[in-house]
Amino acid sequence: MENISLHIQDLEKALEATNIDEDTRVKKILELSSGFRKNYENSGSLTELETGIKWAKKALSCNINENLKADVLAQVGMMLLLGHIQTKETPYLEEAINHVAAALAITPTEDPNRARVLRDLASCVSRRAQLNNSLSDIDQALQWGRDAIGFGNQHSQSQILWLKAGLCDTLYQSYEMFRRAKDLEEAVKIAKELSIQTSKAEPHWASRNILYASILHSKFEKDGDLNDLEESIRVSETVLKLSNRRNPRLPSWYQNYSIMLSAKAQQTGSLEDLDRAIDANEECLSLSSPPDANPSPQWPVFLTNKAILLAKKYRRGGDIQNLDSSIACAYQAAKLSSHRVSAIHIMHNLAAALLTRFLRLNAILDLENAIQISRQIIEVDPPVSSEQSRSRAFTNFSLMLFLRYKRKGSTEDLKNAKRAAERSISFPSLNPTELGHSFQNLAVILGELFSISEPRGPIHDLDCSIEYAEKALKSAEGPILRAGRLACLGSLLTIRYHENKNLVLLEDIITKVEEALHILPFDHQDKSEWSLMLGDLFHLRYGSSSDIQDFTESSNWYRKAWNHQSAPPLARIKAARRLIEINITNTNWDDGLSLAHEALKLVYLISPRHLDWVDQQHLLSIVSGMGSEACALALNAGMSSYHALEVLELGRGVILGYGMELRAVSPGASSPGSHLLKRFEELRAEINQNRGPDLLSNDILLDWAEGKRAAAFRELQETLDRIRELPGMSKFLRFPSEEEITTLGHSGALIVLNTTKIRSDAIIIRGNEVSTLPMPLLDYNQFRDQIKDFISKIIPPTAKRSLVPIRNQRMTEFLAWLWDNIAHPVVRYLNLEPRADPNHLPRVWWICTGLLSLAPLHAAGLAGLNTTDNVLCRAISSYSPTIRSLISYAVNSLDTADQPSKKCLLVEMPTTPGERPLTNAPLEVDEIARIVADISDQRAVFPIEKLHRPTAQDVIEHLPNAAFVHFACHAQADPLDPSNSKLIFVRQDPNTGAEFPDPLSIRNIATMSMKPAMLAYLSACSSAKGPATGLVDEVLHIASAFQLAGFQHVIGTLWQAEDRACRNISGDFYASFLSGREDPHPREVSLALHKAIIKQRKNRPELPISWAPFVHIGPIVKDL
pLDDT digits (tens, 9 = 90+) for 907-959: 999 999 988 898 888 999 999 988 887 765 555 457 889 999 999 999 989 98
List phi, psi (to 5°) of 537.
-65, -45
Task: Classify 853 as helix, strand or coil.
Answer: helix
User: What ranges in 725-874 are assigned the alpha helix state H?
Assistant: 738-744, 780-789, 804-818, 824-830
Query: What is the b/e burial string over 809-840, where b = at least 16 CB atoms within 10 angstroms of the residue's CB?
Result: ebbbebbbbbbebbbbbbbebbebeeeeebee
pLDDT at residue 58 greater than cutoff 50 = yes
What pLDDT is stored for residue 1074 in this prediction?
83
**Across 100-107, average pLDDT:** 93
Q: Position 1053: which residue type?
A: T
Top-confidence residue, 463 or 715? 463
The model's confidence at residue 898, banded by pLDDT at 50, 70 and 90, is very low
- pLDDT above 90: percentage of residues in the chain: 46
What pLDDT is stored for residue 225 in this prediction?
92
Query: What is the b/e burial string over 247-283, where b = at least 16 CB atoms within 10 angstroms of the residue's CB?
Result: beebbbbbbbbbbbbbbbbeeeeeeebbebbbebbeb
**Across 745-771, average pLDDT:** 93
Top-confidence residue, 482 or 899? 482
Q: At what angle do helices 526-545 and 569-585 cross, to 10 degrees?
A: 20
What pLDDT is stored for residue 718 in this prediction?
84
From 339, 269, 276, 265, select the one nearest 304 (Cα to Cα).
339
* C-alpha span between 289 and 1026 (Å, rounded): 55
Q: Do domains 160-239+249-283 and 885-1113 have the same CATH topology?
A: no
* C-alpha span between 195 and 906 (Å, rounded): 82
The model's confidence at residue 847, banded by pLDDT at 50, 70 and 90, is very high
* C-alpha span between 1070 and 1074 (Å, rounded): 6
What pLDDT is stored for residue 707 in this prediction?
53
| CATH domain 885-1113 topology | Rossmann fold (3.40.50)
**Across 612-634, average pLDDT:** 74
Top-confidence residue, 942 or 1093? 1093
**Across 1105-1116, average pLDDT:** 91
Q: Which residues pair with 1052 in a beta bridge?
A: 1111
* C-alpha span between 643 and 771 (Å, rounded): 11
Within 8 A by CB and 6+ apart from 608, the residues are: 361, 616, 681, 684, 685, 688
Average of per-residue pLDDT values in the chain? 84
**Across 766-775, average pLDDT:** 94
Lowest mean pLDDT among 465-474, 731-740, 803-812: 731-740
From 918, 882, 919, select the one nearest 1021 (Cα to Cα).
918
Whether the Cβ atoms of residue 1056 and residue 1022 lie closer than 8 Å to each other = yes
pLDDT digits (tens, 9 = 90+) for 648-668: 988 776 655 555 555 555 544
Lowest mean pLDDT among 259-263, 322-326, 562-566: 562-566
What pLDDT is stored for residue 533 in this prediction?
95
Query: Domain extents for the chain?
Result: 160-239+249-283, 738-879, 885-1113
Can you give the pTM of this predicted structure?
0.72
* C-alpha span between 498 and 379 (Å, rounded): 39
Of the segments 147-151, 153-157, 811-815, 916-920, which one has the largest average pLDDT value? 811-815
Whether the Cβ atoms of residue 1070 and residue 928 lie closer than 8 Å to each other = yes
Give kind and range of the element (H or E) at residue 385: none
User: What ranges in 150-249 are assigned the alpha helix state H?
Assistant: 157-178, 181-197, 205-223, 226-242
User: What ranges in 860-967 are assigned the alpha helix state H?
Assistant: 883-892, 921-939, 952-958
Virtual CA dihedral for 37, 42, 46, 48, nearest 10 degrees?
Answer: -50
pLDDT digits (tens, 9 = 90+) for 690-733: 544 443 444 344 444 445 666 777 787 788 888 888 887 777 77
* C-alpha span between 846 and 748 (Å, rounded): 11
pLDDT digits (tens, 9 = 90+) for 74-83: 899 999 999 8
Per CATH, the architecture of 160-239+249-283 is what?
Alpha Horseshoe (1.25)
What pLDDT is stored for residue 744 in this prediction?
83
What pLDDT is stored for residue 705 in this prediction?
42
User: What ranges in 385-430 are assigned the alpha helix state H?
Assistant: 387-408, 411-424
What pLDDT is stored for residue 695 in this prediction?
39
- Give the 3-state secondary structure percentages of the chain, helix then strand then coil, rounded to 5: 65, 10, 25
What's the gap between Cα 753 and its chain centre?
36
What pLDDT is stored for residue 701 in this prediction?
42
* C-alpha span between 754 and 641 (Å, rounded): 12
What pLDDT is stored for residue 7 in this prediction?
53
pLDDT digits (tens, 9 = 90+) for 371-401: 999 998 888 755 656 777 888 889 999 999 9
